[in-house]
Structure formats: C-alpha cells, structure tokens
Amino acid sequence: MNTLGIKKQFYKNVIFLDWKWQIKNRLKGISFLSSLGIIPEKQVEKFRTLLSSYHFATTPYYFSLCHEMDYSDPIFRQIIPSLEEIEFRLPGSQLDPLAEKVYSVTPHLIHRYPDRVLIITTSLCASYCRHCNRKRFWSTKPWVINKKEIEQIVFYIKRNKNIREVILSGGDPLFINQNYLEYILKKIRQLQNVDVIRIGTRIPVVLPMRITSSLGKMLRKYRPIWINTHFNHPYEITKEAKKAADILSLNGIAMANQTVLLKGVNDDLDILSELFTRLEAMLIKPYYLFHCDCVQGTDHFRTSIKKGQELISKLEGRIGGLCIPKFVVDLPNGAGKAPCGPNFLEKIDGDMAVFKTWEGKKFIYKGASGA
Ligand SMILES: *Cc1c(COP(=O)(O)O)cnc(C)c1O
Ligand code: SF4
C-alpha cells in the first residue's frame, strides 16, 4: 500500500471508517516497511532482527495521520520501527524498570498503591507504539486474561477492602472482544469495595471508530468509569477522535489523558500547548505528562527531566489550569510516580514567602505563617 495519495482516497471511502476493516487491514511486516523506502538493502537483516524482538502493526487510519514519510514526522516516529530500538542504549535502561513483575500479586494483577490495583488484561493492541513501556510483553505469545485468572483477581480484591479503584490496562483493554470485556467489567462492578473502574486505552487515538454507540452503551452500564487515553500530538486530534470522545462523554464516561514526553514527537511548547488545549475542548482532562521510562528499546525517545520541567513550567498561566497535566517520573523498582513541579514558591521565611509569578517576576507574599 502506498501512502499519501491513498490516504485521500480512503477518506472518501466509508469502509475506512469501519473498525473491523481497520483491524483486518492492519499494516504489518517487513514488506510494508520496505515499501516506505526506509530499509536500505544492507539493513534488511537488521530490520528482521528488530522485528523479531519488537513487532510492528498499525491501523491504516493511524498511519494516514502522517504528514511526512520519515522519522521527523510525529506519527511516523511513534509507529514505524527504527534500528535505534536495538542499537541505541542509555545507561540504566531495563526490561521492566517499574518492577511490575515484583508487584504482581496474582497473575496479571499489580498492587503497588494502597487503594488501587492495575490489571494487565491482554498483551494485544490495535497499533504498537515504539515508545511502549511494556515492550517486554511483545516477545510473549499473544494472550488475553482468562476466566480463571479473573476469578483469582476478583478473590484478591474482595479480600483487600482498601482497594477502591480498579484499573484495566494492557495491552489495550478496548481491543478485547466486547462481550468478554463486558464479562470482566460485570465481575468487577459486583465487588462492593470498588468505587471506580478506570480503563487505560489508546483506542480513541489509533482506532477511534472502534468507539461505537454500542460500546458506549455497554460501558455506560458499569459507571463510574474513567477512560484514560494516550494522545501525544495534535495530529491525533481528528474528526474521528472527537466523535469517539463525544460518544464516551454522552454516555457518562469521564476522560483523562496521559501523554508521554517524546523526543522529536512532542518535546515542544507550542505542540504541547495545542495538544492540551484541544484535549480540554474534547472534555478530556490532561492528567499526566510522563518522562519517558527507562525501558529497553525506547531510549532514543527520552528527553531530560529538566526539559520536561521547563516545558511544564512555561505552560503555567499561558493556558488554563484545566489543560495542564502533572509532570511525573515513574520511578524505577516500583517506587511509584513522583511529581516534578513546577514550583513557583521559592522560599518561606517566617511570615514572608517568595514566589516567582507565571510571568517570571519575583513576588513577596506576606501572611505565609497563617493563624
Ligand atoms: C500508575 C499506576 C497506578 C495509577 O496511579 P495514579 O497516580 O492513580 O494514576 C496504579 N497502579 C500502578 C501499578 C501504576 O503503575
Ligand atoms: S497502546 Fe499502550 S500498551 Fe499498546 S503499544 Fe501503545 S503504549 Fe504500549
């Protein structure tokens, strides 16, 4: 399949908007990559090695969002495999830096924080992100959680009364067969101690036509549900993505977004500010901006923490508070997420506090010590 010309043709075609067609016609394999002209003859073997560790698949829809056919394009860079994944390593990168294996309490259930647990529901996704922090799954046989594992998880949550929130993650939970997903949701909703169900998914970004009114109506029955999605660039905010967000919000689903700060994709003030304001307008609250985890195979995407802090500080005041996510580093060894500012309070001295305003001016505040 060739690229931009076909993109225009597709858009005129209703088939393009059918999610089943999108899944059936996913772009995969080395032959598609060759057709992009990114594999010089000498590197075919290296690309084979790359794909044997880190596979490649994406939807025609998501691929059609590329503006340029090279790694300078923010969409291309997120989905098209690059030799840097196997050839470039920074010190400290690991297979599982968040120690998710260590914190697993039953198969596929991670309990790191007191009041919430995370279920890894499947290894499958509609489109594979090159920066994925669960790349370690990519070499296992594809799997979806089975009924016995769900029973064990339900049993664990029932016994641990502190748990009030259950996060479905993956892989992509919305890529699971709808009836089976409903089976899982029903089981969790039956637990008295669980208030909130959260679903982490990239479907609204890479396959938004999958958010049908039938899926919306099904999810509606298991509210309160939060959908945490993963938009990284304004190119991803399309008519289709807006429609998906609309279906979810009209069905009473709350939405938030987790962006990963990625070198060459979105490490830029104007890009982030456009992304976050447009998400707010879709009723999706920008929730986290993640420093890219130290995961093997993703090192070339990592910016400095300082860069992240600079960007997030400059957003303050420039766009509304509802548009600004928390900048966090997910600390290795399962130490949890650490917010990294910005900090506008420079010093407290008795009753006097020294602030920096959003415009960068010094401000002396009296009344710091309180009653
Ligand atoms: C990130 C994460 C959560 C959710 O943390 P929030 O700060 O509530 O978003 C829960 N469990 C695990 C294992 C996580 O990695
Ligand atoms: S959708 Fe999420 S789990 Fe799937 S490849 Fe992308 S980052 Fe990884």
Ligand 2 pocket check for 202: Cβ under 6 Å: yes
Q: Which ligand is nearest to the CA of 133?
A: 2
Which three-class secondary structure state does DSSP give residue 60? helix
Give the number of C-alpha atoms closer than 13 A to the C-alpha of residue 186, restricted to the C-beta side.
Answer: 8
> Which residue is listed with tokens 């549900």?
225
CA-closest candidate to residue 201, choices 264, 127, 131, 149? 127
Closest CA to 147 of 171, 195, 114, 179: 179
Indicate which residue of 26, 77, 112, 198 is catalytic. Answer: 112
Q: What is the pLDDT of residue 97?
A: 87
Cβ 128 under 6 angstroms from ligand 2: yes
User: CA-CA distances (angstroms) from residue 316 to 257, 258, 365?
Assistant: 18, 18, 19
State the 10-residue block means of pLDDT for the chain, 371 residues long: 56 80 95 94 96 96 96 98 95 88 93 97 97 90 97 98 97 98 98 98 98 98 98 98 98 98 98 98 98 96 97 97 98 94 95 97 96 91
Q: Give me the pLDDT at residue 1, please.
A: 46
Within 8 A by CB and 6+ apart from 194, the residues are 157, 163, 164, 165, 166, 188
> In this structure, which residue's CA is closest to atom 8 in ligand 2?
132
Q: Is 323 an annotated catalytic residue?
A: no
Angle at Cα 190 formed by Cα 110 and Cα 165, nearest 5°? 35
Ligand 1 atom with the shortest distance to the CA of 110: 13
Task: Enter the tokens of residue 318.
Answer: 């420039």
Which tokens in the block code for residue 33?
Answer: 């990559």
- Mark whether 113 is an active-site residue: yes
| Token pair listed for 289 | 């901006």
Structure confidence at residue 16 (pLDDT): 86
Distance from residue 116's CA to the centre of ligand 1 (Å): 7
pLDDT at 92 (0 to 100): 86
Substitution candidate for ligand 1 out of 169, 290, 331, 337 with most atoms within 8 A of CB: 337
Report how far residue 108's alpha carbon sits from residue 150's, in angstroms, rounded to the nearest whole number: 9
Binding site membership of 292 for ligand 2 (Cβ less than 6 Å): no
Give yes or no: 116 in active site.
yes
Question: How many residues appear in the chain?
Answer: 371
Closest residue CA from atom 7 of ligand 2: 132
Cβ of 172 less than 6 Å from ligand 2: yes
- Contact indicator for 61, 22 with CB cutoff of 8 Å: yes
Identify which ligand lies nearest to the alpha carbon of 166.
Answer: 1
Tell me how many degrees the CA angle 122-123-129 measures, rounded to the nearest 5. Answer: 125
Q: What's the CA-to-centroid distance between 225 and ligand 2, angstroms?
A: 20
Ligand 2 atom at shortest distance from the alpha carbon of 125 = 4
Whose Cα sits closest to atom 8 in ligand 1? 116
The residue type at 214 = S
- Ligand 1, atom 7: closest residue by C-alpha: 337
The answer, as to whether pTM is greater than 0.85, is yes
Give CA angle at 168 (162, 172), nearest 5°.
165
Give the single-character DSSP code of 141: P
Domains within the chain, CATH numbers bracketed: 3-86 (no CATH), 104-339 (3.20.20.70), 342-371 (no CATH)
User: Is 293 an active-site residue?
Assistant: yes
Nearest-CA residue for atom 1 of ligand 2: 202
66 is catalytic: no
Where do the DSSP E strands lie in the chain?
27-28, 57-58, 104-106, 109-113, 116-120, 165-169, 196-200, 225-229, 254-261, 284-291, 326-331, 336-339, 345-349, 352-356, 362-366
Taking the centre of ligand 1 as the mean of its atom positions, its distance from the CA of residue 167, in whole angstroms, is 8
